[in-house]
Amino acid sequence: MSPTDSPVVEITALRKSYGANEVLKGIDLRVRSGEVIAIIGKSGSGKSTLLRCINGLEVFQSGSLTVDGKPLLHGNPAAMRELRQHVGMIFQSFNLFPHLTAGQNIMLAPTLVKKKVGAAAEVQARKLLERVGLAEKFCAFADQLSGGQQQRVAIARALAMEPAVLLCDEITSALDPELVGEVLRVVESLAEEGMTLLMVTHEMSFARKVSDRVIFMHQGRVHEIGTPAELFGNPQTAELKQFLSSLHD
Amino acid sequence: MVDFTLWDIFRNLLLAARWTVLLSLIAFIGGGLVGLALLIARIAKLRFADRLVAGYVQLFQGTPLLMQLFLAYFGLALLGWDVSAWLAAGLALTLYTSAFLAEIWRGCVAAIPRGQWEASQSLALSFGEQLRYVILPQAVRIAIPPTVGFLVQVIKGTALASVIGFMELTKVGKTIANATLNPFLVFTCVALMYFLLCYPVSRYAKSLERKLHVAH
């Protein structure tokens, strides 16, 4: 898997503030197709906000952002709908739709947004459930699934839209420790298959293992960026050194 | 003076109860539709909608239903419109019901976790699709018990329409009481009628609550 040069996500001089509090202070980032990027940093460093800007869950005040060459235009529902079809997102709290079965969760967006017909959507949903190791859970509701299973259904749901990039927002933070592995294995398999991934994570050994680049965010800026070997093995700034050492305490 | 048997009293009250039921239904269906429109205007964050609807709700929650009926009946007449008791009662009760339902339902929609909005938004669903397929099906579950409970308030509220001459249960009761000179007996029967209308509805609300609790 070799990342090609066409950027899937291109972020230029992005600034975002809540009132007077600026949380992103000019972010520049190009994510190439097939690249796996881990974003690390203290809470409040802006890493989740950055991720949420990429699919328009957060509105930013200045700068530009494109996905697959399409610019993110707030206040233009048609453009946002188009852009969001290229960006999948997985949340810390799974956010499965509790009134629908696992299968219906996966089929909802393809049938509504991509106008896929029922049978084709079902074939796809079953295939995706099998891919995340839950082939037998097609008819299960969220409250009949463990946290790890719910998160894997959420991954399948995001994949059903065939996104160009998948955003993972601390997707194992709400899981019991023994369930973390099953979710990370799915993510790892996606990385191996060449999916472009941007993930905010606290799982440092996982970030080290699967990512092509690691971003260390500090106070709303990209403080350090590089390969896992560079960042974890030879941190350049005092902040990153401190952050990494705090993890070992 | 005419002699009324207990059956005469009951028969007349039963006939009058039809209008109570009909007026309740009008209030509930009309109020439900207007309330739904107000709710959607509010959650769609249409310009000014939030404040306008909040003001509307405050207005109808903060004044007695009796005054609303008077204003609908006499106020519209002042404007030169010939309003029947039917129209005035139907209109006032519809507006009153819509204000309360809009507020009850807003609470139910607010109870749906933000993550449900965000997940459906991330999947590129439009606002209408989010409401139709993700938010409202869940909100309805929460909304059914308080909504049915409020229906009981509306049924009892229709009694006030008697003051503008609407011939429903209470008004007919008053008339019979005057004729029989036995108001205690007659109003006991009237109260019993209301109870027979309301009790099954309350029971239904309770059983729905239990059922929905078990379901998820």
Q: Which two tokens stand for residue B195?
A: 């109870």
- pLDDT score of A5: 63
Q: Per-residue pLDDT for A4 more than 60?
A: no
Q: Which residues of B127-166 are buried (b: 16+ CB within 10 A; e: fewer)?
A: bebbbebbbbebbebbbbbbbbbbbbebbbbbbbbbebeb
**Rounded mean pLDDT, A131-158:** 96
Question: Could you tell me the pLDDT band of residue A3, with boundaries at 50, 70 and 90?
Answer: very low
Question: Could you tell me the pLDDT band of residue A80, with boundaries at 50, 70 and 90?
Answer: very high
Nearest by CB to B115, which of A95, A108, A157? A95
CB B169 within 8 A of CB B159: yes
Q: Per-residue pLDDT for A92 more than 50?
A: yes
B6-43 vs B49-61: helix crossing angle, rounded to 10: 160
- pLDDT score of A249: 65
CB atoms A158 and B113 under 8 Å: no
Q: Which residue type occupies A10?
A: E
Shortest distance, CA A241 to any CA of chain B (angstroms): 34
pLDDT: which is higher, B33 or A75: B33
- pLDDT score of B166: 87
Question: Using CA atoms, how far apart are residues A167 and A67, in angstroms rounded to an integer?
Answer: 12
Question: Could you tell me the pLDDT band of residue B215, with boundaries at 50, 70 and 90?
Answer: low
Q: Chain-centre distance of CA B14, in angstroms? A: 21
Distances (CA, A) of A183 to A132, A156, A157, B127, B197: 9, 11, 14, 30, 55
CB atoms A95 and B126 under 8 Å: no
CB atoms B138 and A98 under 8 Å: yes
Please report residues of A whose CB lies closer than 8 A to that of B133: 108, 112
What chain A residue is nearest to B128 in terms of C-alpha separation?
A: A112
Q: Per-residue pLDDT for B140 more than 50?
A: yes
Q: Per-residue pLDDT for B206 more than 90?
A: no
DSSP chain B: -PPPPHHHHHHHHHHHHHHHHHHHHHHHHHHHHHHHHHHHHHHTT-TTHHHHHHHHHHHHHSS-HHHHHHIIIIIHHHTT----HHHHHHHHHHHHHHHHHHHHHHHHHHTS-HHHHHHHHHTT--HHHIIIIIIHHHHHHHHHHHHHHHHHHHHHHGGGGGGGT--SHHHHHHHHHHHHT-HHHHHHHHHHHHHHHHHHHHHHHHHHHHHHHHH-
| Residue of A49, A94, A112 to mutate, testing the B interface (most B Cβ within 10 Å of its Cβ) | A112
pTM: 0.88
Q: Per-residue pLDDT for A205 more than 80?
A: yes
| Residue of A49, A95, A159 to mutate, testing the B interface (most B Cβ within 10 Å of its Cβ) | A95
Question: Using CA atoms, how far apart are residues A38 and A26, in angstroms rounded to an integer?
Answer: 19
What chain A residue is nearest to B134 in terms of C-alpha separation?
A: A97
**Rounded mean pLDDT, A159-187:** 95
Q: Per-residue pLDDT for A2 more than 50?
A: no
pLDDT digits (tens, 9 = 90+) for B51-98: 999 999 999 999 999 999 999 999 888 888 888 889 999 999 999 999
What mean pLDDT is reported for chain B? 91
Question: Using CA atoms, how far apart are residues A101 and A236, in angstroms rounded to an integer?
Answer: 48
Q: Which two tokens stand for residue B14?
A: 């039963």
Q: Are strands A62-67 and A165-169 parallel, antiparallel or unpaired?
A: unpaired
Least confident of B29-43, B45-59, B93-107, B124-138: B45-59
| Residue of B112, B117, B120, B123 to mutate, testing the A interface (most A Cβ within 10 Å of its Cβ) | B123
CB atoms B118 and A158 under 8 Å: no
Quickly tell me which residue has 């999947």 as its tokens: B123
Question: Using CA atoms, how far apart are residues B131 and B120, in angstroms rounded to an integer?
Answer: 10
